[in-house]
Amino acid sequence: MITVMKSFDYRDNELYCEDVKIEDVDRKVGTPFYLYSQKRIANNYRAFDEAFKEIDHLICYSYKANSNLSICKLLKEQGAGADIVSGGELYKALKVGVDPKKIVFSGVGKTQEEIEYALKSDILMLNVESIPELELTNKIAGKLKKKASVALRINPDIDPNTHPHISTGLAKSKFGIDISGAKEAYKKAEELKNIETMGIHMHIGSQITELEPFVDSLEKIVELIKELEKEGIKLRYLDIGGGLGISYKKDEKAPTSGEFAKKLLPLIKRLKYRIILEPGRAIIGDAGILVTKVLYIKKTKEKTFVIVDAAMNNLIRPTLYNAYHEIISIKKLRTTNSELRTTVDIVGPVCESGDYFAKNRELPEVKSGDLLAILDAGAYGFSMSSNYNARPKVAEVLVKKDRYRIIRKREDYSDLIRGEEI
Ligand code: LLP
């Protein structure tokens, strides 16, 4: 059993990432910046891998969570494949040297160019999400004189009890092929000359903190597999997607990868399929923080605003999903004395009221110049960032023991106009 150690912790009231004092990174890099712990990423990956060790499996790390090349490379070196959803992510996976036979490609709207790129790259399989996509894939494969290996993404119609924006396995959602039409879809796939039907795929949503929805979906999928076998359709891969949540709040307990595996293994062990897993958040979520500086404290009649130099363009999760991220000071402040705590909104400089990281949050008193860490920002943080308000994207830094390395440099103003014409 691999124990995952705390990688962000106070020493003498100063916040460290592994053996690096975060204040020192600020001196060199300047805020805002993302900071990741290499040990944490590797440990999270190994814990996941170990949890499934008794069965034949492949972990395809979900690039959309964070596709910084150094992070992808680190995971590739641990043995990870890639779960991708675009030509761009395929490009990145190949760039870091991921074996194409460890790449799976999902997405409801793959373009002709993307399908071609995937087939030419000989990836393990395309997770096909509709009959028209299947037909187009067949046509492109024919043109390329190739057989396209595919899995069909099946929508099991299960409610994962997560935010509606990240819930994907309900009948009303755009994802996958409705389970009621799955058998027909497989039959259709078998008829197509240039298609090799290799597997079955599901992915029901993200930030799922209960195990029942996974179990319920898998039961339906296993049932379907049995029916397909009766029809003479024998597959080799069962891709159970990603979605395992993490604990963003101290009092919230998300299942560990070990608990996740323990619950699912009895269902999939006897299938003798190669199991594919596509975790994103569970690998990188708690391995990254966003460090930001307090610019101003602004008191109005109604509220106290802590205005920081990071904004919704750097981390959009709070405003997009009403997501909670713990926010702590880089210097441990006295938190026990209630007089020193105030209720504040932590907001950024972007010109929108939706630009906030926390609302009505109790925080020890902070002042201009203080550094704050927004925790659990490793997944869907930088990868969802934008240049809104013509704000250059921030730097990303990777810590390994007592050393750190800039793995993406801060953008400058010239990056903002690249490709534009006057
Ligand atoms: N596989 C597929 C097909 C997916 O669509 C996703 C995520 C994953 C795997 C990885 O899921 P994870 O293990 O990270 O939950 N931006 C949102 C999350 C969107 C997830 C989209 N799909 C957020 O910030 O919460």
Query: Does residue 75 lie within any of the structural domains?
Result: no
Amino acid at 315: L
pLDDT averaged over consecutive 10-residue blocks of the chain (422 residues)?
Answer: 69 96 98 98 98 98 98 98 98 98 98 98 98 98 98 94 82 92 97 98 97 97 97 97 96 95 96 96 98 98 97 98 97 70 95 97 94 98 98 98 98 98 96
Q: Is the CB of 89 under 6 A from ligand 1?
A: no
Shared domain check, 402 and 384: yes
Domain boundary among 216, 245, 279: 279
Shared domain check, 321 and 248: no
| Surface-to-core class of residue 113, CB atoms within 10 Å of its CB (0-12 exposed, 13-18 middle, 19+ buried) | exposed
What is the whole-number distance in angstroms between the Cα of residue 297 and the centre of ligand 1?
A: 35
Shared domain check, 262 and 169: yes
Query: Does residue 179 lie within any of the structural domains?
Result: yes
pLDDT value for 414: 98
Domain boundary among 259, 279, 299: 279
Shared domain check, 394 and 360: yes
Q: Is the CB of 133 under 6 A from ligand 1?
A: no
Q: Is the CB of 380 under 6 A from ligand 1?
A: yes
pLDDT value for 37: 98
Q: Is the CB of 348 under 6 A from ligand 1?
A: no
Give the integer Cα–Cα distance in Å for 199 and 79. 21
CB-based contact 198:151 (threshold 8 Å): yes
Element (H, E) at 359: strand 356-364
Shared domain check, 314 and 298: yes
Shared domain check, 275 and 146: yes
What is the whole-number distance in angstroms between the Cα of residue 377 and the centre of ligand 1?
A: 14
Shared domain check, 295 and 158: no
Atom 8 in ligand 1: residue holding the nearest Cα? 242
249 Ramachandran zone, left/alpha/beta (phi>0; psi -120 to 50): beta
Return the DSSP state at 411: P
Find tokens 């990777």 and name the residue. Answer: 398
Q: Is the CB of 282 under 6 A from ligand 1?
A: yes
Shared domain check, 162 and 116: yes
In this prediction the pTM is 0.97
* Tally of structural domains, the chain: 2
pLDDT value for 170: 83
Which CATH number characterizes residue 330's domain? 2.40.37.10
Which CATH number characterizes residue 200's domain? 3.20.20.10
Domain boundary among 221, 245, 279: 279
Shared domain check, 200 and 110: yes
Q: Is the CB of 166 under 6 A from ligand 1?
A: yes
What is the whole-number distance in angstroms between the Cα of residue 300 and the centre of ligand 1?
A: 38
Shared domain check, 135 and 263: yes
Shared domain check, 359 and 319: yes
What is the whole-number distance in angstroms between the Cα of residue 175 and the centre of ligand 1?
A: 12
Provide the residue range defining the domain that includes 338.
8-36+285-416
**For residue 129, what are the contacts with CB-CB under 8 A and spacing of at least 6?**
106, 107, 108, 153, 175, 176, 177
What is the whole-number distance in angstroms between the Cα of residue 331 and the centre of ligand 1?
A: 33
Ligand 1 atom closest to Cα of residue 317: 24
Q: How far is CA 67 from CA 81, 138, 183, 212, 237, in A?
A: 13, 29, 35, 29, 25
Query: Does residue 78 lie within any of the structural domains?
Result: no
- Residue 351 among the catalytic residues: yes
Shared domain check, 267 and 291: no
Mutate to test the pocket of ligand 1, among 64, 106, 217 (most ligand atoms within 8 A of CB): 64
Q: Is the CB of 176 under 6 A from ligand 1?
A: no
